[in-house]
A = this chain, B = another copy of it.
Amino acid sequence: MSGDVRVASRLIRDIEDDIPEAVSTIKDLYAYTGNAHVVGITGSPGAGKSTLTDGLIAAFRKIGKTVGVLAVDPTSPFTGGAILGDRVRMQRHVLDQGVFVRSMATRGALGGLSKAVGDSINVLDSMGKDIIIIETVGAGQQEVDIMNHAHTIILVLVPGMGDAVQTIKAGIMEIADIFVINKADRSGADRLFQEINIMLDMALVQTIGWRPPVNKIGNINDEKNFVLEIGKLVEKIIEHRNFMADSGLLDERKRRRAVCELRGALEACILEHIYRDLINDGSLEQMIEKLINRDSDPHTIGEQIVIKYLK
């Protein structure tokens, strides 16, 4: 809570590694959370999310906001280096006390990646960061789960990554509050802009009163223009936050986040308890053998476990 970067870094690493000792600290911190505005950024690999995040850090710092960033990577010995390499740019903020950047890579812990991200958001929140940016690669169900922690969700798209309708992956279109067309100096940007707008107009479900804006961000090397466009994006984020607060929808997002946190913690606690016991008395191994030999089936075993463990 004093903002010690090394303590926070260690705590987030312990969360990633599912170290039991981290739990009591996370519990204690919880009472001091709920103040930050959480911005989620998602999109395909290569969409330029890190560059965008870097631009947002600079822009938020300029208006006096402190910023925490969690860049969430799926784990891979192959891609780890490459994706982290992308984040080198962000290191220019390393001497700024108002900025804290961490990459997370979680290895299939119980309760899932979403739980680890939620706990880590709370670490940054209790440090007093005004804005917390969660950046995730991809847009599958897992990323949707992670985005449930965010108050404002940004979907980043780029022109020319195959057919747009294919690229805009399932489940994300519906939850995006702001669309960004990145690398908008490339050919195909106007077409993508139109496609997104048509899709938004066709959408059956729509947040009442908020029509997601579509912001273009051009080449980062045209720095003056880039800064201008990032500034407009920051305005949209603030506009969205104010709209949410005024309309009462922010409470719904906070509720969604609470549901998500509860679910993650509940599943981790319950399943850890049961798996530990099943492994210790050797019955997990017996069950797997039964399945391989077709002496039982997964549902019957699931029901037997309910009878054995639940009151």
Which A residues contact B (CB, under 8 angstroms)? 23, 26-27, 30-31, 33-34, 44-46, 73-80, 82-83, 108, 113, 118, 137-143, 161-163, 165-174, 199, 203-205, 251, 254-255, 258-259, 261-262, 264-271, 273-274, 284, 287-288, 291-292, 294, 296-303, 305-306, 308-311
Contacts and interface: CB of A to CB of B under 8 A. Distances in A.
A33 B294 contact: yes
A83 B166 CA distance: 7
Given A298-B264, A309-B311, A311-B311, A292 B171 contact: no
Nearest to A143: B140
A-B interface, 6 closest residue pairs, ranked by CB to CB distance from nearest? A74-B170, A30-B297, A76-B170, A269-B302, A265-B298, A46-B162
B261 A298 contact: yes
B161 A302 contact: no
Given A76-B170, A163-B46, A258-B291, A270 B306 contact: yes
Given A169-B74, A294-B33, A301 B266 contact: yes
A63 to B, nearest CB: 27
